[in-house]
Structure 1
Amino acid sequence: MIHRLLLICLSVPLVWADQQPIVSAIEFKGHLITKDYIIEREIQHPIDVPLDSAVARMDRERIYNLGIFADVTWRAIPLEDLTVILEYKVIETSLRILPGGGPVYEEDYGWSFGGMLRINNFRGRNEKFMLGGSTGARRAYFFTFNNPWIVGDHVSLDVMTGKSITAHPFLPYERNVTTAEINLGRYFGYNHKARVGFEWEKKTFSNDEDTLEYYYIAPQGSYIYDTRDIYRDPSKGILIVQGFYSHVEFDSDKQNLWWSQSYSFYHSLVKSDRKLTAAFNVSYLTAFGDVDEVWVSWLGGAKTVRGWSIPNSTIYTNVDNAYRFGNHFAIISTELRQTIIPTSVFTTDLFNWKQEYGLSAIAFVDVGFINKERKKLFGELPMAGMGFGFRIPAPMIGTIGLDYGWGYRDGEFIDQVLHLVIGQKF
């Protein structure tokens, strides 16, 4: 027996130096809730072929991008016959079921108190289920369900229904929305993704003097080209998103169409656990048709140009601030993302709790143009925002953080804002 082990120890390095060993089996372990096939269908490395570390690494990234594991690793285990077992080890995130309530802040509306039941990896099938409601700035109830691979080859299903009542950020209306939505998606390979669906919606804008009612069906869809390695915090890759959203009204001849485009690029300048990544994005939105005032877009806030607050009625009614509103906009954003504490997993003896932790810092610059007329989009001076922020990993939502920015236009700093950020801006 000792002689055989010595032979393996001497032979394996010689064989591996000449060529990669043959993968005779693939195994995965560490999952308690997740069904085997959820992991297995993401593994593309074949058996009975030489080990390809690039394919194994991409398999690891696909499994991690499911969003249900705190960590995923792979290794090759040598066998006596000089082949290897390719093993993927996963650690499931412990925070999978979240029943609870508490204060909720939305930059557009303010503070609410909400309660919900959210289940990630529902039934161990990577489904997401959420039921909840809130009162305060947003009075709402909602139900959502998502299955990213319900049938066939990456055919996904999203269903959502609910009702929401909020005050419009800057128009003198209370907005009452009742909605039901269904979408189907499909992968074409692993880089091309398409999604189509529709939304049935009834929206009422009302005050003491007037009521505006819109009752429509909204066909919608998107195409995505995605080569990012890790969705939550990419080190490299490209993300291109083309989307449309339209209104076909039941009680009017009006029809509207919004076309959105987003182009994101990621490249690590320093490749290590404490990586430094440069990220760049260009976004564009344009509208077609009869666009009423209640559908007007604006710049300001964490999702558009940071360093500027969400506009209120005082800002909107001041004609000197017309440069902040329109039906067409273009935004250019760049970020430097520095990992300070690499993402890791800690485990406690209490309930065998497993949780990710980490910390990254960003510096950002946003530049935005907006106008009510497409041909005049770049005719005004742009809004700019610059600042810094922090991100930490958060189960269920990816990352959470704070951005502090200064708003700049026409030679002076006009605004400064602290933004609560859920996920990455792009």
Structure 2
Amino acid sequence: MAMVLQAIAFGVCADLSAQQVIASVEFEGLTKTKDSFLRKYLTVTAGQKYDSVQLSADRQRLLNLGILATVGTRIQTKDIGVKIVFACSEMISTLPVLALGKTDDNFWVKTGVQSLNFSGRGDKFFAVYQYYDRHSFYIQYATDRIGKSHWGTTASLTKWATIEPLNSEIGVLNYDYTNHTAYASAVWFLTFRETIDLGAGIFNERFEAQQPQENEFGKIVQGNKVLSKLIFKSNHLNYETFYLRGTYNQLNVEIIHSLDKAENFVTVFNDFRFFRQMGRRFNWASRIRSGIATNEDNPFAPFVLDSYLNIRGVGNRVDRGTGSIVFNTELRYTLFDKRILAAQGVGFLDFGSWRKPGGSFKDFTESRNMRAFSGIGFRLIYKRAFDTMFRIDYGYDYNKNAGLVIGIGQYF
């Protein structure tokens, strides 16, 4: 009798052990995305012991790719173990680009096409035309991991043309700024969440006064230049449709070498973002951007004070500096959340301080170099595509300056 009980116990244990081994991992619901690409982001594989925590982490990692609208998991028990099925629905990966932006004294429009999953392997393609005082275009292609390696690539061509207003003693002078750039980089995927991007490019930039007789600065920062860039990204964000939680940090180091003059210009800036979901409807979002650059007394310094970039309501390219510290925070409240559409109301605070070109670090503490705007906003969200929403914000400060900012996608 004892031998029979031992045999039964052994059989039960053996059966449980077999069930804990992963027999296979499969995908359902894919139409364009290659399952071989998604498997690069899985840690669960056939032959391993089943771990529910590991499976949950893999599910979240697939959602974070930005190409899948939903990912569910299903466990099926087989004689030889468990079968794991990822039930996926894909986002619309290729969309037309149509973005509008407006402040009180400025309007811009952007149109084109973008694909966040161009060939089904997570590669991205953008072709965009923009009118922002003048005509610009931008073409970029970026791969994810190539094959089984930990490397990817990017390549881009850009013509960037704008009108740059410049405050001077004789009033506001407008300059035509034109930049032609060819750029390529190699991306090293250190982990699922950390990457290093090493890139180089060549470009030509020119500033030309619209009224040459009023050109106070002569021929500045003109000609052919070489750009070297290092970008380190640490992305610990987790996505659930339009809700975000976690942190993101990006460090950029750029060196520009002039081919016409023996000059180098260095820019270092860091972008840190924090997101927290509070309850079912609230999403708190914050961003700190800080940067420093070669402190030349150059009227076209790299850090720009602008409603579209950092301080909502302040205006169009109001000021420039060779250093900046910007803090943005907003509380997003979900007004409704349907199957395809959702909406959020937003309350925000934007604060920034700048170092004047040729100035000192003391500039950061002087009130004349600070801006603080608060306001409210609205988001209408299309859930079938990544970060696709209509955005409108109204910002104002204690001096009764105010501005309306309209755009596509979250502000940050």
What amino acid maps onto 2:177 in structure 1? Answer: R
Counterpart of 2:409 in structure 1 is 423
Distance change in 2, residues 1:111/1:261 (3 Å)? closer
Distance change in 2, residues 1:388/1:67 (3 Å)? same
Counterpart of 1:179 in structure 2 is 181
Tell me the SS of whatever aligns to 1:60.
helix
**Aligned mates of 2:387, 2:112 — CA distance in 1:** 18
Deviations 1:335-393 (A, max 9, x none): 2222333474xxxxxxxxxxx43223322111111121341143212311112223314
1:261 to 261, 264, 270: 270
Bigger shift: 83-92 or 116-125? 116-125
1:331 to 326, 332, 347: 326
What amino acid maps onto 1:242 in structure 2? Answer: L
**Structure 1 residue 203: Cα displacement:** 0.6
What amino acid maps onto 2:355 in structure 1? Answer: N
2:286 to 280, 284, 288: 280
What amino acid maps onto 1:168 in structure 2? Answer: E
| Partners of 1:309 and 1:415 within 8 A in 2 | no
| Partners of 1:397 and 1:422 within 8 A in 2 | no
Counterpart of 1:364 in structure 2 is 348
Distance change in 2, residues 1:41/1:388 (3 Å)? same
Counterpart of 1:131 in structure 2 is 127
Tell me the SS of whatever aligns to 2:257.
strand
**Aligned mates of 1:39, 1:203 — CA distance in 2:** 41
What amino acid maps onto 2:229 in structure 1? Answer: Q
Does the alignment pair 1:57 with 2:63? no
**Aligned mates of 1:368, 1:222 — CA distance in 2:** 23
Tell me the SS of whatever aligns to 2:348.
strand
Does the alignment pair 1:198 with 2:187? no
* TM-score when normalising by structure 2: 0.81
Q: Show structure 2 runs of 5+ residues with no match.
A: 1-11, 167-172
Counterpart of 1:350 in structure 2 is none
Deviations 1:38-61 (A, max 9, x none): 111111123344433332222222
Question: Equivalent pairs: percent with the same residue?
Answer: 20
Instruction: List aligned pairs for 1:26-425, cutoff 5 A.
Output: 26-79=25-78, 81=79, 83-94=81-92, 96=94, 98=96, 104-105=100-101, 110-112=107-109, 116-133=112-129, 137-170=133-166, 171-207=173-209, 208-209=211-212, 211-212=219-220, 213-230=222-239, 233=242, 235-270=244-279, 274-290=280-296, 292-311=298-317, 324-342=319-337, 344=339, 356-372=340-356, 373-381=359-367, 382-391=370-379, 392-393=381-382, 398-408=387-397, 412-425=398-411
**Aligned mates of 1:403, 1:72 — CA distance in 2:** 31
Tell me the SS of whatever aligns to 2:300.
helix
**Aligned mates of 1:181, 1:231 — CA distance in 2:** 33
Tell me the SS of whatever aligns to 2:62.
helix
**Aligned mates of 1:160, 1:88 — CA distance in 2:** 34
Deviations 1:276-308 (A, max 9, x none): 232232210111253521235332313211232
**Structure 1 residue 21: Cα displacement:** 4.3
What amino acid maps onto 1:401 in structure 2? Answer: F
What amino acid maps onto 2:42 in structure 1? Answer: I
**Structure 1 residue 180: Cα displacement:** 0.5
Counterpart of 2:5 in structure 1 is none
**Structure 1 residue 120: Cα displacement:** 3.8
| Partners of 2:145 and 2:189 within 8 A in 1 | no
**Structure 1 residue 109: Cα displacement:** 6.1
| Partners of 2:125 and 2:142 within 8 A in 1 | yes
**Aligned mates of 1:95, 1:263 — CA distance in 2:** 27
Tell me the SS of whatever aligns to 1:62.
helix
**Structure 1 residue 230: Cα displacement:** 1.9
Tell me the SS of whatever aligns to 2:262.
coil
Distance change in 2, residues 1:161/1:56 (3 Å)? same
**Aligned mates of 2:245, 2:58 — CA distance in 1:** 16
Distance change in 2, residues 1:265/1:143 (3 Å)? closer
Q: Show structure 1 runs of 5+ residues with no match.
A: 1-11, 313-323, 345-355
Tell me the SS of whatever aligns to 1:294.
coil
**Aligned mates of 1:195, 1:231 — CA distance in 2:** 27
Counterpart of 1:4 in structure 2 is none
Distance change in 2, residues 1:288/1:201 (3 Å)? same
Tell me the SS of whatever aligns to 1:61.
helix
